[in-house]
Chains A and B, each alone.
Chain A
């Protein structure tokens, strides 16, 4: 009995394994015949299941990733479950590997994990985002989406495949607050179903080109709608090239200088989203130049309507010092507008 218990206890120490990589699915199957079947069959070994820090409430402790190098690099959506020393990757053959984490890309909200290729039996089958011409897609084009929805697949079981079309390309910044998403870039909208656990998986054309990385469902509380979306794979290239191939990035995206308006907002403690009332305006600041006063209510910046202090802050993050924005504010019953040129915070 005691020996048995020790055997059971040993199972919690999960580590990599030698096995016939890519041949470990539980049940024997027929050969793929149709294009979708062939594509799914070909891509499956490049998709991994990711398990991490245990989930809190609606945050799931599982996700999906895509192998991007034969050195064991895996790209996935950056999420809370990815914690140091607690992230495990399950390959197609069911083997379990501990992963180390690379710094995330702050803008794309994706992250690279790495497993030890020495521990993998057989050769990893990496995917790489196709070139600009190869990565094209059109609205209405058929796509398959691969990911571990609801953690339905465990160990060597295959992840889920869903089918749909590209619905369109969108820029989340322009549709700000249409969806409660903290992402600010081009995305691919699709009707191929995406669910918890599917995040970090891939969106592929029927001939197997990797066009997107599944992101969280876009969720609009306002319209009570949800959309499946993916980050275009070509947008991942600079990050992948930097972290996987070791190339230096040309763009200095790392150092973003925040804009400064000189306005302090009236933020009552305890209230969830107080409206953007002005409490103070500093001297020699863009706000003072515009003519803002205490108790003015800021309601609009360019095309973004402002409903709360936090919305004003996140909208201002989209700008850099030196840009001019159109501001609309309310003073008593009057609505006023004016241009404000944003600046850097003066050094003391």
Chain B
């Protein structure tokens, strides 16, 4: 870049030096990035696409259209026999009881399936992944996003504990038209040794909306337009910025009159959109896109007395989520998730990059009877799933392409990637404010937790020291033992609420957790981790490891409660219904004060 600036202004530095410096920088970046770019091919079909390793544990991003549809006739392999050592141990244990060995083996195999095989209805055959080191690896298709053309594959290691060179995802919202970028991949499968082809260009446009194909599949709601040549076979390959960060996945091109060849108009799925689906994809899910269940259009009119310019609701169903929230035909849409809406394409872009189930805010001005508009009001709705026609294989938590092992590896990898914390203090104190103004204060210190709800105080003590019944409740000046429900409530809050974990203890808290998917919390993507035990306990953490919220079945309220936390924003959802009026106060860390956990204090 410096080279171009210097050449253009024709001043100062010797241009040749500048050219050499810029070129040397680019060559170094390309050299590093190329290690992580791979070719993705089917086991039994010609052709293929590209991909990029974004995690040292061998997680690969590519296009959905590269992995194709699930293989209908594919049957999962049978489980192996239990190892002889396991059988021997079991025989010794059950000696003399007339053991049913067949039943034991069946049980063991069932457990093996649960651990090693996906639970969904549809499956993929493993893919062949060629890396620039010239080696061919096998890869498991983990997660798919047919709605906007993404897929995640996990490489199977050739030796235990193998790691791969990888590239990190950059911030695609910081891209500007004119910024230099390069695309990598294996167009036309030119490289039989899998060294990627590199093409160079500039960002031609940002936040482009490209319609999908078929039944709302392969929509590119927020893509980057580039003039770096992208050709068949480049699909699924990365688009890099000058710093060597993956800022997009190249997936499609506009073509002229001559068939599928490059005309200088390529599109890459933006990295920030990918991040929104990363949790679901890595957790082995068939992701779903959200929709407001309405269409809007841009209008610019001076007909009649009123002057209209803006985005207006064009179509909606009577039972759609927005209609139920009070948004009607002809209303003006003013902002979405706090971002001012200036065009219909922009609204489609903002909604299109969000997964189904995301809570969003929408501001609108209702159309008044005489053609004017009322005051702006804000509604909060939960995006419904867009039917892409690909969901027939089953969606939701049950439809998984990845096994529990995959999810455990993913969890370990994510937790390990978070920076070590140097935060002082062992106790954490967090205050929430309810809709009626009441305070809810939680304090933890290791296994001890104290919960102040309005005027009552619940305290549960270290379970290791006692029999688990230790703890007490104080209300109206009286002290009594905890009820079973109260004790369970405290346990669930303690194990699932990451806001109450000292930063240094995050890995320990998630030791037995499993990555189950992604969740969008107040405009930022986060991971969902399921914790073992009863109560559907889940801890949510943002991609950088900071707390994003939690969920569990509250035995005191007898309801499933979700807490969405970001800074001072707090959204509470009880059995799927929004409870408005919550806010989050400061989180503080420090040393424990003994009186917090003393019964007689």
Contact = CB atoms under 8 A, between A and B. Distances in A.
Do A and B originate from a single complex? yes
Interface of A: 1, 3-4, 7-8, 10-11, 13-15, 17, 19, 24-27, 29-30, 32-41, 44, 58, 94-96, 142, 144, 149-150, 152-164, 192-196, 205-207, 217, 226
29 contacts: A3-B369, A8-B314, A17-B300, A17-B302, A17-B309, A19-B309, A26-B342, A27-B346, A34-B4, A34-B5, A34-B180, A36-B202, A58-B257, A142-B8, A149-B265, A150-B265, A152-B205, A155-B300, A158-B205, A160-B205, A161-B178, A161-B202, A162-B204, A162-B227, A164-B227, A192-B264, A195-B263, A206-B4, A226-B258
B201 A157 contact: no
B367 A7 contact: yes
A90 to B, nearest CB: 9
Contacts of A14: 300-301
Contacts of A205: 8
B234 interface: no
Contacts of B180: 34, 36, 163
Contact of B329 (A4, A33, A152, A154): A4
A154 B344 CA distance: 10
B345 A32 contact: no
Given A11-B297, A14-B300, A162-B264, A40 B343 contact: no
Interface in B411-459: none
B589 to A, nearest CB: 34
A46 B445 CA distance: 62
CB-based closest 10 A-B pairs = A193-B264, A206-B8, A35-B5, A40-B178, A36-B178, A26-B346, A37-B178, A10-B303, A4-B329, A162-B227
Interface in B166-192: 173-174, 176-180
A144 to B, nearest CB: 7
Most buried by A among B202, B204, B297, B330: B204
Prevailing SS type, chain A contact patch: loop
Contacts of B173: 27
B178 A195 contact: no
B176 A163 contact: no
B256 A196 contact: yes
B343 A157 contact: yes
B178 A39 contact: yes
Nearest to A27: B207
Nearest to A162: B227
Contact of A40 (B177, B312, B314): B177
Contacts of A96: 300
Contact of B225 (A15, A24, A152, A196): A152
A323 B176 CA distance: 55
Contacts of B297: 11
A194 B263 CA distance: 8
Contacts of B177: 37, 40-41, 44, 158, 161
Given A30-B174, A163-B201, A11 B300 contact: yes
Given A1-B329, A207-B8, A15 B346 contact: no
Interface in B1-60: 1-2, 4-5, 7-9
B367 A24 contact: no
Contacts of B330: 3-4, 7-8
Contacts of A1: 329
Contacts of B342: 24-26, 94, 156
Given A26-B207, A144-B202, 5 more contacts: A41-B178, A152-B265, A157-B205, A158-B205, A206-B7
A35 B4 contact: yes
Nearest to A205: B8
A8 B263 CA distance: 37
Contacts of A206: 4-5, 7-8
B527 interface: no
B343 A156 contact: yes
A44 B177 CA distance: 10
Given A26-B342, A34-B178, A152-B265, A142 B7 contact: yes
A194 B8 CA distance: 22
Nearest to B263: A195
Interface in B304-362: 304, 308-309, 312, 314, 329-330, 342-343, 345-346, 349
B176 A30 contact: yes
Nearest to B298: A155
A161 B204 contact: yes
A149 B254 contact: yes
Contact of A35 (B1, B208, B301, B369): B1
Contacts of A142: 4, 7-8
Contacts of B2: 34
A195 B300 contact: no
A164 B349 CA distance: 29
B178 A32 contact: yes
A150 to B, nearest CB: 5
Nearest to B205: A160
Contacts of B208: 152-153, 157
A164 to B, nearest CB: 8
Given A15-B300, A58-B257, A96-B300, A162 B343 contact: no
A142 B1 CA distance: 12
A163 to B, nearest CB: 4
Given A10-B303, A150-B254, A162-B264, A37 B176 contact: yes
Contact of B301 (A15, A159, A194): A15
B178 A144 contact: yes
Contacts of B256: 195-196, 217, 226
A17 to B, nearest CB: 5
